[in-house]
C-alpha cells in the first residue's frame, strides 16, 4: 500500500523568521506525520538550517527546492547536494515548471540533477507537466511521458523517487485539473514507470498532484487510484490550509 506524500513548496516566500514561524505552526499541529501520510516542507535555501531545527524531531521531511548537478566548483549562486545534506535536507524538488520556464532547464539538465541527487543519497521529487497550449494541442501524454523518460534516464533504482504531475496551466492560477483529468495523466505516468522499471516499481511509485491544490479539492483529488498526495504551492504558506490538505491525504 503506497503512503501518500504531501510536500509544501514555499518557493521564493518567507524570510528566515517567517519560515521558522510557519514551520513551528505546522510542526506543533501536525504530529509525527504517521497515519498513512509522509509530510515535507521546502523552504527557501536561506531558511533550511533554521527550519531544520524546528522540524528535526517532528517527522516532517526537510526538502530543498533545487540543486546543482556538480558537486562543487565555480557556479555562483548554486547549491550542491552535499550542502543540502549538511543543512539537514533529505529530499530535493527537481524539474519544477518554473525552473524549466524561467531558468531554461531542459530534460537533460533535470536528469543530471536527478542522478546527482540520488547518488548523493537524497530523495527526489521529479516534477513533470504540460502547458495550456500543449494540452489544447492534445499532446499532454507525449510531453509528460517524455519528461518522465528523459528525467529518469540512466537511473537504476527509483525507490527514492516521487513524481509530481503539475499541469503548468494550473500552477498559481487558481485553475485545477479535474480529478479525472489528473487521474488520466497519473495513470499514464505509472504505465511509463512500469515500462521503464517493471511492475513492482510502478506499483510502489508515488505520484503527487500539484496545481492549485486547496483544502476544498484535496480529498477528491487524493481519492483517485493513482494520485498519492500533493506538491502544494500557495496553500502551504498558510498553516491551517496545509494541515487541512495533510488531513485529506491521511
For the chain, which residues make up each domain, given as ranges? 4-249
Per-position pLDDT tens, the chain of length 250: 799 999 999 999 999 999 999 999 999 988 654 557 999 999 999 999 999 999 987 889 999 999 999 999 999 999 999 999 999 999 999 999 999 999 999 999 999 999 999 999 999 999 999 988 888 899 999 999 999 999 999 999 999 999 999 998 877 777 777 899 999 999 999 999 999 999 999 999 999 999 889 999 999 999 999 999 999 999 999 999 999 999 999 8
Backbone angles phi, psi at 207, to 5 degrees: -120, 110
With contact defined as beta carbons under 8 Å apart, do 225 and 202 qualify?
no
Residue 11 is labelled as binding a ligand: yes
pLDDT at position 174: 72
Does 172 carry a binding-site annotation? yes
Catalytic residue numbers? 96, 166
Q: Is 116 annotated as a binding residue?
A: no
CATH architecture group of domain 4-249: Alpha-Beta Barrel (3.20)
175 is in an annotated binding site: no
User: Is the full-model pTM beyond 0.85?
Assistant: yes
Q: Which residues contact 51 (CB under 8 A, 6 or more apart)?
A: 19, 20, 23, 41, 43, 62
Amino acid at each position: 500500500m503506497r503512503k501518500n506524500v504531501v510536500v509544501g513548496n514555499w518557493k521564493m516566500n518567507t524570510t528566515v523568521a517567517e519560515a521558522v514561524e510557519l514551520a513551528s505552526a505546522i510542526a506543533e499541529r501536525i504530529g509525527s506525520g504517521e497515519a498513512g501520510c509522509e509530510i515535507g516542507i521546502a523552504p527557501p535555501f536561506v531558511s533550511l538550517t533554521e527550519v531544520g531545527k524546528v522540524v528535526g524531531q517532528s517527522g516532517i521531511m526537510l526538502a530543498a527546492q533545487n540543486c546543482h548537478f556538480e558537486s562543487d566548483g565555480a557556479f555562483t549562486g548554486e547549491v550542491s547536494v552535499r550542502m543540502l545534506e549538511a543543512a539537514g535536507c533529505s529530499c530535493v524538488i527537481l524539474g519544477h515548471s518554473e525552473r524549466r520556464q524561467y531558468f531554461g532547464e531542459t530534460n537533460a539538465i533535470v536528469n543530471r540533477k536527478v542522478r546527482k541527487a540520488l547518488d548523493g543519497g537524497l530523495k527526489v521529487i521529479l516534477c513533470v507537466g504540460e502547458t495550456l497550449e500543449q494540452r489544447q494541442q492534445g499532446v499532454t501524454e507525449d510531453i509528460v511521458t517524455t519528461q518522465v523518460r528523459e528525467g529518469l534516464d540512466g537511473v537504476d533504482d527509483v525507490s527514492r523517487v516521487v513524481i509530481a504531475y503539475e499541469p503548468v496551466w494550473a500552477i498559481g492560477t487558481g485553475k485545477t485539473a479535474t480529478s479525472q483529468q489528473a487521474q488520466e495523466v497519473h495513470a499514464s505516468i505509472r504505465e511509463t514507470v512500469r515500462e521503464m522499471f517493471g511492475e513492482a516499481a510502478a506499483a510502489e511509485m508515488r505520484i503527487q498532484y500539484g496545481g492549485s491544490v486547496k483544502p476544498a479539492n484535496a480529498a477528491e483529488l487524493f481519492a483517485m487510484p493513482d494520485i498519492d498526495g500533493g506538491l502544494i504551492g500557495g496553500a502551504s504558506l498558510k498553516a491551517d490550509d496545509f494541515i487541512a490538505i495533510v488531513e485529506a491525504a491521511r
